Amino acid sequence: MILGLGIAAGLGTAISWSLASIFNSASSRHVGVFHFIMMRQPLASLILGIACLFSGELVLYPAGSLGVAALSGLIGLILCDLCLYSSILLIGIRPALVCHSLYSCCTALFGTIFLHEYLGLQGICGLIIATLGVMAVIICEQRDVHAVHVPPHKRNIGVMLALLSAVLMAVGLVLSKEAIRQGLPPLPLSFMRNATACIIIWCAALALGHIRSAWTALKTHPQVWKLLPLGCITGPAGGIWLSSVALENLPAAVASTLIGLQPIALLVATGILERRCPVRGSILGSCAACAGAALLLLR
């Protein structure tokens, strides 16, 4: 029963985050990435705070676990999403998210470098397959006649930002797993991550003088009012909670593998929205990236 719950939560996270990336990239395109995160975090924190209140889980937890959760929110929500959505605006949603899916490979590499975990031949093969899959998607999306042409220098910057978001995502997941190990349940963990991210991003906005410009951008693009709740429910609220449930009930490698199926879920979602099948190379590359990551994590 617990195993089934973890698997369902992992798959649900992949689907939820693929939908969130569509809604959130649209919001970012209208108002800018920084302004979008500013507007998203209070709503996500409110949703999760109400959920914690009604579930009776809004109680005091060990200070150490709360500190780890707060650090996870800074790295995994603010810094990671700033890089990821900036990348999406530069190179498009599919190549950016396939590059981002390498976060599972980054998690394994961190374990090898810092925790002296064994990578082995299977892990090396998985890493190579995942990397080749990502490269195939980038090349095929670049050659897709339906895609917007991106100059080489912008494409390079976008790819680097997406890869950096993968590294930050891996760090955020490792910290979340540590907070759970220290006794913080998934729902309060999700609330703490988002609340911390909200406080930090609004303090930065006040310091940089972005409050008025954010409000002006929101009035200029009122359609963002509809996109923000959808992005919050599927992203930092629902998606983060589902990922925490998966991490609680499954080994980190298995949970990361299921969550890493996000590029495949995104192919289906964007194919439906665009009413066309993605190019064959993107499909094969996305599947290879997910398969390589799974081979690496399940070694």
Q: Say which residues have a Cβ less than 8 Å from residue 221's Cβ, sequence separation at least 6.
A: 30, 31
* Pairwise pLDDT comparison (133 vs 299), residue with the higher score: 133
Do residues 221 and 26 make contact, with C-beta atoms less than 8 angstroms apart? no
Residues 274-284, mean pLDDT to the nearest whole number: 72
Amino acid 276: pLDDT: 67
When pLDDT is cut at 50, 70 and 90, the band that residue 145 belongs to is: very low
Domain ranges of the chain: 2-297
pLDDT in tens, 195-216: 999 999 999 999 988 888 888 8
Output the DSSP codes for 175-230. Answer: HHHHHHHTT--HHHHHHHHHHHHHHHHHHHHHHHT-HHHHHHHHHH-TTHHHHHHH
pTM for this predicted structure: 0.83
3-class DSSP state for residue 86? Answer: helix
Residues 251-267, mean pLDDT to the nearest whole number: 76
Q: Among 2-6, 172-176, 197-201, 231-235, name the one with the lowest average pLDDT.
A: 2-6
- Which of 36, 10, 38, 7 lies closest to 24 in space, CA to CA? 36
Residues 175-190, mean pLDDT to the nearest whole number: 84
What is the pLDDT of the chain when averaged over all its residues? Answer: 82
Do residues 230 and 21 make contact, with C-beta atoms less than 8 angstroms apart? no
Amino acid 290: pLDDT: 77
Amino acid 247: pLDDT: 76
Q: Among 193-202, 227-236, 286-295, name the one with the lowest average pLDDT.
A: 286-295
Do residues 297 and 246 make contact, with C-beta atoms less than 8 angstroms apart? no
* Pairwise pLDDT comparison (276 vs 188), residue with the higher score: 188
Amino acid 277: pLDDT: 72
